[in-house]
Amino acid sequence: MGSKYLQAKKKSAINVINARLKVLEKEQKLIQEIEQDQRGTEIPRSFSGSQVNFIIDPSNIGTGILDRMIKTDDTINSAVQFKIMMILSKIGEYEHSDPVIKDFVQGFLNGMSEPTWESTMESMLSYHGYRFSVSEVVFGVDTDLRKVPMKIVTYHPSTIAFEVDEVGEITPDGIIQYTNQRRQFANLNWRFQAIRHGFKVNNPFETPVDRLFPHRVMSISDFAIVRIPRDKCIHLKGQEWHAFGSPYGNSGVRTAHLLWQLKVFLFKQMGIASKRKGTPKIWAIAPKGANKVRVALPNGETKELNPQEAVSAMLKNIENYDSFVTGAESEGYKLTVLDDTSDLSQFTAVIDALDVRIFRCFLLPSLVMTDGSAGSRSLGDKHFEIVDQIAEADADKFTKNFIKQILERVIAENFGEQDDYGQFNRRPQTSEERERLARMFGQLANDGWMSPLFKQDMDYVRDSLKLSPLDGDLLNDESEEDDVNSNIIPGETIEIPAKEEKPEPVPTEDVEEDHAGTAFNGAQVTSLVDLVKQVAAGDLPAEAAIEILQVAFQMSEEKAKAIISSATDFEPKSQRPQADDENPELSKPQWVIEDDKWKKALAFAGDKGPAMAAWYYLNTLKGKKAKS
């Protein structure tokens, strides 16, 4: 008996194992069927098929000439700086749901020095000018013996090259820096670019065509090469939408190269024209074949020349003469100044037009950085609004890259894997922005679309204005009024119970009457006036109105009676219309709740209670559209 039981149990275990093996085999087959490997490559291989992994910059405009453009052209320099500063203005402090992680990250960011965190961000954002940036993180240990970044150093892009694998991904140690800058023969990018740092404008009307993608080449030398681990670097690149996987990226500076060449050419021509206008042409007449005269030349040499040669020699160096003397006009001498009637406006107009086009290369509307002499204020504000939205998108992209490439690793090494690695908040609002939001919320409250009596509205407003949340519910949470109003049954006449007398608080000099001096918004004042009108017209009992004022407007009983008492004795000037077939409700002697209207009022109020339902009901009696 025992033997058979053991055999059955063993057989059952074997069946379970076989079933599990079949499941695993099926899962393995499914995984193999999934095409996990990348078949194509972002950077095509060479025609020989050899595994050469060094890649050269596809741009024929080297980083040296980009650097020259940024440093020598005020428009390009301003455009790049403007984009960087706009992005920096959007980045606030680091935020994380775990306050320990938040303080940890913000602590080592604020503790960075030489360069500081602000200077580090500015350097990393240089890819908006140089197309890409590579920054190395230098780690250290804080006072709690935790591994943290101590500083982040950004290297000049002209010293950087990349090594990639067969599918175009940067290899683990594929960020390469050429440290020997005396001779850049080993730097592949310096040899394969058509225009490098020493370029001079020969033909201002054309710019070299870039290669379609980076080319793989053989490294000819390992001299003065430093390999930096990929996971130790922050690699950022611009305009990825047409970089197609190239680690060198793109920027508006490269797009503006042709415009920059034209500006250089035009500035040279404008200089020549300015010189001609400042020193006008002179038409000289001198006798020919007369006796020779002695002339002292600017180089100190003295020569004897005939009159024509002497005048010609003096005019060639007119900048070196304050004045010169010739013979009399009767003897055949005459000097005539030919005025230049042209001006430089043609040059300045074309240069200004080129500046506008350069701004377009950086998605900057022309009115953002002009002197204000053209364009309306509203159009300029709209342009700035567009730029502001672009800056927010760029700031979001930059901070997400920083978190992905560095912060995730640092947090995981110190606190373990996290579901969320936090985010960077927007920088604090300016006083102008807060004032604009306050005016908008005030208008919404006056129109009745929101109310400070509702905690949800109040929390939203305070959060938008970056104010600390209020504790507790702003709605009246006294149970007495709720208990009274909760007994209202649709279709029945309201019975107002006698209110219990409450002991009066002892008045003091420092405490004013309950809600004294409280200002109501427009919607509240309108509702209050309508309530008084209904009492005066006899549509609502005075006792009910007093209860509503205490519950909905949080008034004291004395103040509510003072408001309603004047309406009870008020006689309308015109006689009220009599009940007829079209207005049968006018014949009702007292206030009666109607089922359908009361149900709508309760549905509208939701969890806000009977006070809100009563407010809605009163508005429907007047035929007024209630606002939530």
- Locate the domains of the chain by residue range: 54-258, 263-345, 431-464, 479-500+518-621
Range 325-352 average pLDDT: 79
Q: What is the pLDDT of residue 486?
A: 43
Structure tokens at 389: 């939205």
Check if the beta carbon of residue 545 is closer than 8 Å to that of residue 617. Answer: no
Element (H, E) at 104: helix 99-110
Q: Taking 90 as the threshold, does the pLDDT of residue 410 lie above it?
A: yes
Confidence of residue 321 (pLDDT cuts 50, 70, 90): low
Q: What is the pLDDT of residue 489?
A: 47
Cβ-based neighbours of 466, under 8 Å, separated by 6 or more: 428, 429, 434
Q: What is the pLDDT of residue 423?
A: 92
Instruction: Return the bridge partners of 141, or none.
Output: 147
C-alpha–C-alpha distance, residues 312 and 276, integer Å: 18
pLDDT digits (tens, 9 = 90+) for 224-239: 788 999 999 999 999 8
Q: What is the pLDDT of residue 209?
A: 82
268-277, 362-371, 432-441 — which is least confidently predicted?
Answer: 362-371
Q: What is the largest CA-CA distance in the chain?
A: 152
Q: Inter-axis angle of helices 117-124 and 74-88, to 10 degrees? A: 130
Range 18-29 average pLDDT: 82
Q: What is the pLDDT of residue 277?
A: 76
C-alpha–C-alpha distance, residues 627 and 59, integer Å: 61
Range 440-446 average pLDDT: 77
Mean pLDDT of all residues belonging to the chain:
77
Q: Taking 80 as the threshold, does the pLDDT of residue 384 lie above it?
A: no
> What percentage of the chain carries pLDDT values higher than 70?
72
Q: What is the model's pTM?
A: 0.60
pLDDT digits (tens, 9 = 90+) for 476-520: 444 444 444 444 444 444 444 444 554 555 444 444 444 444 556
Q: What is the pLDDT of residue 421?
A: 93
Q: Taking 80 as the threshold, does the pLDDT of residue 280 lie above it?
A: no
CA angle 336, 339, 343 (to 5 degrees): 165
pLDDT digits (tens, 9 = 90+) for 539-575: 778 888 888 888 777 788 888 888 888 777 666 655 4
Range 299-314 average pLDDT: 80
Q: Taking 50 as the threshold, does the pLDDT of residue 91 lie above it?
A: yes
Q: What is the pLDDT of residue 53?
A: 79
